[in-house]
Amino acid sequence: MSKKGIETLVGLFVLLGLAGLVFLSLKAANLASFGTRDSYNVSARFDNIGGLKARSPVRSAGVTVGRVTSITLDPKTFQGLVLMDLDKSVQFPRDSSAKILTSGLLGDQYVGIEPGADEKNLGPNDTIKQTQSAVVLENLIGQFLFSKAAEGSNSSAASTPGARK
């Protein structure tokens, strides 16, 4: 085999490697969906969306059933309005609930859907009424510290000399 033929094969191999890296990076970052699925849009309003982002997964029982398409602020209620595309193959009852959950302790956030028991299903452009906002770690720590400070001030006032019982 000539030197030119070997260089051509090496160049082809490098191009295939680069194409593979681009494919893997897009799949890992959820920036490109390869393959189209029939889907329908639903929305949900949350008081606090935490770190939820567009293209975050929507899961039910740990299985990805859709994606978050956009997040906006509702100017009337001042709540986060989350629009989601759900796979048409999965139909949720109308009384289903949506929660913003976290993968692991410090992982990415996603929308979790718990199916309800209604006989009618969610349709295109319906709204999930029952929602639970994201748990913000800073708020939990602040509440814990505030309750411990309140306990400390109550116990110190009761233990002061001359305090009546």
- Residue-wise pLDDT for 17-42, tens only, equals 999 998 888 777 655 555 566 889 99
- Residue 136 is given by DSSP the state P
Residue spans of the domains in the chain: they are: 39-139
- The average pLDDT across 105-116 equals 86
Residue 45 has a CB neighbour count (10 Å cut-off) of: 18
pLDDT of residue 162: 55
**pTM score, two decimals?**
0.66
What are residue 75's phi and psi, to 5 degrees?
-70, -15
Q: Report d(CA 20, CA 34) in Å as an integer.
A: 13
The CA-based dihedral angle spanning residues 82, 86, 90, 94, taken in that order and rounded to the nearest 10 degrees: 30
Rounded Cα gap, residues 157 and 79, in angstroms: 41
